[in-house]
Structure 1
Amino acid sequence: MKDFNKFLGTAKYIASEPLQNAVNVAIALGRPLLVKGEPGTGKTLLAHNIARGLGKKLIVWNIKSTTKAKDGLYIYDTVQRLNDSRFGDRDVSDIRQYIKYGKLGEAFASDEQVVLLIDEIDKADLEFPNDLLNELDEMSFHIPETGETIRAKHRPIVIITSNSEKELPDAFLRRCIFHYIEFPDRQMMEEIVKVHYPDIDKRLLHEALKKFYHLRKIESLKKKPSTSELLDWLQALIAGGISYRKLRSELVFAGALLKNEADFMHLPRNEAV
């Protein structure tokens, strides 16, 4: 594995050693990296920081329930061609000018290697992952309208995220390197917090993490607070000038942590959690 292709995290993204290894193995093998983990564990931010850490351009393909695999390859703009044939003075016989690359097409056409994020692949229908198999394997796709085959100039670094809303096909999983991002333990969480708030009072951080992890242990919570919510909460505490003593006796600004009405029922008012 070449040193210049190694991902070691960034100043703004603390990556565990297993996560670093998964990224670097995927790069070395030229395989997509499928990343799972509970919301707020940094799945999407991973791709952004791989691009930042390796000095590469990032292309983001946000998947929706209506997204089709072909959307990521190219779009044939028939409406524009029709308008040009009726009202314009362009030569509409050249179909190539009406072919617009999707995000995967952009990654293939790039003159340099890019990082391609396929975000929340499980939002699409069940056939979507299988429809991408050939393109991700062969790093090429065919455009019937022009008779051209587009081949990747450089194999992109493909990061795929999933929230496990749907099971992904076995054939697709076999072609991916897989990593599940575990929720950070307290020690790693302290490192993450200090990246964002290097001057935070140690006593305030101690009390905040104590309450945060206590909340996450409550099995009946509908939505456990995540890393992103912890960071928002800490920012609110700092901005509000909340002392560690006050936090010790009261869960201040609980709305930054809990996002479901029923979850507030588990909290004694004005008491330690």
Structure 2
Amino acid sequence: MSADFDRFTGTDKYIVSPELKDVVNVSIALGRPLLVKGEPGTGKTLLAHNIARGLGKKLIVWNVKSTTKAKDGLYVYDTVQRLNDSRFGTGDVSDIKNYIHLGQLGRAFSQSQDVVLLIDEVDKADIEFPNDLLNELDEMSFHIPETDETVSAATRPIVVITSNSEKELPDAFLRRCVFHYIEFPEEELMRRIVGVHFPELAEKLLKEVLKRFYWLRQIEGFRKKPSTSELLDWIQALVAGGMDPGQVAKELPFAGALIKKEQDLEVLDAALSRAGGTVNRMGLRGRF
């Protein structure tokens, strides 16, 4: 393993745990894709954005959908445009290269400098999708039969792959990745994360907000526990609505910023009733 590589330490907008920082740097040093899992809202996608930002590199994003095929990330041969140009005489149809368009993986390979490539939500696609990428991710190159050309990476991109565990990923794919599960932040780390976004938040309000938030996450029966991104939205709503710590403790205002399923609101109602509190479901109550 070479010691000569750019090390990621986080950014002023993205606080990382020591474990996450280390695994990112292991992935970079080994030249292997980093596969990241974790609860929704724990910053899996933002990690790639901030690796690019922290290391001063270009970011290329491949958002995977249920219909995405591995070849889509390599290149697309636009036969429809070539046919139209042939019919209407609006392009040079003799040069097939005019109709070859590189996908995100192809663009990452063709850069003159190394980039960060995010393959976001790899488990949304067909189960064969990860396996279809194995050779290209290993060799960092692929062949275009239509032009008999090979696209090879001059420098190996930093590859970050996220998964929401909707499907099991193939063992052969997992063997080629460095893996990390982003644990939900403990309160001290969460304080630092909140501090990045709300540096002037009053200590009393922050203390009560975190107390209520972690109490919420301990309630049994939630189908979707509130995440970090929802906590930040909630704090913004509390600040904008002029709420004080006492109201947060007693009423849990603007619960809709935290709880996103009707069944979970019912679970929350029951938990608050047992605790002697109420849910404010009336929006911002005219405070804006």
Shorter chain as denominator, the TM-score bin is over 0.9
Q: Partner residue of 1:139?
A: 140
Runs of 4+ off more than 3 Å? 1-4
The DSSP-based 3-state class of the residue aligned with 1:146 is coil
Amino acid paired to 2:277: E
Q: Partner residue of 2:104?
A: 103
Q: How far, CA to CA, are the matches of 2:61 and 2:174 in structure 1?
A: 21
Amino acid paired to 2:121: E
Alignment gaps of 5+ in structure 2 = 280-288
> Which residues of 2 match residues 20-39 of structure 1 at below 5 A?
20-39=21-40
Q: How far, CA to CA, are the matches of 1:89 and 1:195 in structure 2?
A: 53
Q: Partner residue of 1:120?
A: 121
Q: Partner residue of 1:88?
A: 89
The DSSP-based 3-state class of the residue aligned with 2:135 is helix
Q: Partner residue of 1:176?
A: 177
Q: How far, CA to CA, are the matches of 2:191 and 2:237 in structure 1?
A: 17
Q: Partner residue of 1:195?
A: 196
Matched, 1:271 2:272: no
Q: Partner residue of 1:161?
A: 162
Task: Name the stretch that deviates more: 239-248 or 115-124.
Answer: 239-248
Q: Partner residue of 1:7?
A: 8
Q: How far, CA to CA, are the matches of 1:163 and 1:7 in structure 2?
A: 24
Q: Partner residue of 1:186?
A: 187
The DSSP-based 3-state class of the residue aligned with 1:228 is helix
Residue 111 of structure 1 deviates from its aligned partner by 1.3
The DSSP-based 3-state class of the residue aligned with 1:56 is coil
Q: Contact conserved, 2:68 with 2:125, CA < 8 A, in 1?
A: yes
Residue 265 of structure 1 deviates from its aligned partner by 1.4
- The CA RMSD measured in Å over matched residues stands at 1.3
Amino acid paired to 2:237: A
Amino acid paired to 1:147: D
Q: Contact conserved, 1:4 with 1:54, CA < 8 A, in 2?
A: no
Matched, 1:253 2:254: yes
Q: Partner residue of 1:64?
A: 65
- Number of aligned residue pairs: 273
**1:190-214 residue CA offsets vs partner (Å, 9 max, x unmatched):** 0000000000011111111111101
Amino acid paired to 2:58: K
Residue 90 of structure 1 deviates from its aligned partner by 3.1
Q: Compute the TM-score of the two structures, normalised by the length of structure 1.
A: 0.97
The DSSP-based 3-state class of the residue aligned with 1:5 is coil
**1:243-267 residue CA offsets vs partner (Å, 9 max, x unmatched):** 0111121111000000011111122
Q: How far, CA to CA, are the matches of 2:147 and 2:4 in structure 1?
A: 40
Q: Contact conserved, 1:248 with 1:272, CA < 8 A, in 2?
A: no
Identity over the aligned pairs, expressed in percent? Answer: 70
Q: Contact conserved, 2:141 with 2:153, CA < 8 A, in 1?
A: yes
Q: Partner residue of 1:215?
A: 216
Task: Name the stretch that deviates more: 45-54 or 212-221.
Answer: 212-221
Alignment gaps of 5+ in structure 1 = none
Q: How far, CA to CA, are the matches of 1:215 and 1:150 in structure 2?
A: 51
Residue 89 of structure 1 deviates from its aligned partner by 4.6
- CA 1:88–1:207: 2 relative to 1, 3 Å: same
